[in-house]
Amino acid sequence: MAGQDVRGTLPEGLGGAIRETAEEIAALLRRGADMGLPVPGSEWNIGEAAAHLAQANELMADIAAGHARRYGDGTPQSLAAANERALAEFDERAAEPLAAIIVAQADAYLTALDDGATDGTVVTPLGPMGPDVLGSYLLTHMLGHGYDLARALGRPHVIDCARVELTLPFLITAMPRVTDSAHTNGLTARYAIRLWGGARFGVTVTDGAVSVSSQPPSRPDCTILTEPVTFLLMALGRRGQWSAISRGHILAWGRKPWLAPRFPALFKAP
């Protein structure tokens, strides 16, 4: 991934990916985007989705700069309510100003990190994180909504395998915080999650309690191998598993392979 990371604080490639993703989203908006077009699968139109992205980038930059910002309590309901309140208080919907804010606030996050505004854990809408994980959160959020904007405009999305791997620090941190108790209750299972290309992590459910580690368990009940872009789109609630399975983008094996179809429902994207 091109781009120079700041101070070596971020994982290799993350600073460049943040800048490039913000610029590519801005370019989508600047190509004469009809800001009133609906976003597929959303109640927002393009103008509202872009305004949300601009606000979210500003929020992340403020947090990285050491400013306390309260934004819901981490539950999907509270985050949705906070998003709607924020949009109601921000009336910009034009393409050029929003594109400029998205890029400027992504740069502001990187500047805050470069300045060493905060060295320890910061409080985010999905709980405490280190600044590096916050950067992964920022990238993940932009990729999800950038995908939505590209679909609405009929243009190619910007998600690729390298960027998906850079989202893993955030996803591994956030997954235990977005579990769906209706599907985890009573379950005990050990999953090894592998992405095409080598990235992997583990998810262990013990009587409904979920923990996620950067390494798979030594004796998984079920191993799931997923094409990376498919993995991220499913994690963000943008794609269902059955079409991915039918196309060979998800494979599963192990002592209990029947646990694989249960895995996506263990989490609820905020």
Give 69's pLDDT tier (boundaries 50, 70, 90).
Answer: confident
Taking CA atoms, 91 is separated from 51, 52, 80, 95, 132, in Å, by: 8, 11, 18, 12, 31
Looking at domain 179-266, which of 3.40.50.1100, 3.30.1050.10, 2.40.170.20, 2.40.50.100 is its CATH number? 3.30.1050.10
The residue with tokens 């600044």 is: 131
Question: When comparing pLDDT for 119 and 53, which is higher?
Answer: 53
Residue 206's beta-bridge partner residues?
209
Rounded to two decimals, the pTM is 0.94
pLDDT, tens only, 98-144: 999 999 999 999 999 888 766 778 899 999 998 889 999 999 999 99
Looking at domain 14-160, which of 3.20.20.60, 3.30.870.10, 1.20.120.450, 2.40.420.20 is its CATH number? 1.20.120.450
What string of DSSP letters covers 19-35? HHHHHHHHHHHHTT--T
- The stretch 176-182 carries a mean pLDDT of 93
Instruction: Locate all alpha helices (DSSP H) within 130-257, ordered by sequence.
Output: 131-153, 161-174, 181-184, 228-235, 241-246
What is the β-pairing status of strands 200-206 and 189-195? antiparallel
Q: Which of 105-119, 144-158, 234-248 has the lowest mean pLDDT?
A: 105-119
Residue 203's beta-bridge partner residues?
191, 212
Question: When comparing pLDDT for 67 and 87, which is higher?
Answer: 87
- Residue 1 predicted with pLDDT over 50: no
Q: Rounded CA gap, 187 and 251, in Å?
A: 21
pLDDT of residue 7: 43
Q: Which of 5-14, 100-109, 144-153 has the lowest mean pLDDT?
A: 5-14
What percentage of the chain reaches a pLDDT higher than 70?
96
The dihedral sign for the CA sequence 56, 59, 65, 66 = negative
Residue boundaries of the structural domains of the chain: 14-160, 179-266
Q: Which residues contact 25 (CB under 8 A, 6 or more apart)?
A: 50, 53, 99, 102, 142, 145, 146, 149, 158
Q: Which of 4-13, 54-63, 111-120 has the lowest mean pLDDT?
A: 4-13
Cβ burial of 240 (10 Å; 0-12, 13-18, 19+) is: exposed
Q: Rounded CA gap, 101 and 50, in Å?
A: 10
pLDDT of residue 104: 98
- The stretch 207-220 carries a mean pLDDT of 95
pLDDT of residue 74: 78
pLDDT of residue 270: 77
Cβ–Cβ under 8 Å, residues 81 and 34: no
For residue 195, count other CB atoms closer than 10 A to its CB: 21
pLDDT of residue 2: 38
What string of DSSP letters covers 235-256? HTTSS-HHHHHHTTSEEEESS-
- Residue 258 predicted with pLDDT over 90: yes
Q: Which of 45-49, 100-104, 175-179, 227-231 has the lowest mean pLDDT?
A: 175-179
- The stretch 171-194 carries a mean pLDDT of 95
Q: Rounded CA gap, 153 and 40, in Å?
A: 10
Q: Rounded CA gap, 166 and 146, in Å?
A: 16
- Residue 6 predicted with pLDDT over 50: no
Question: When comparing pLDDT for 90 and 9, which is higher?
Answer: 90
What string of DSSP letters covers 75-107? SHHHHHHHHHHHHHT-----HHHHHHHHHHHHH
pLDDT of residue 117: 65
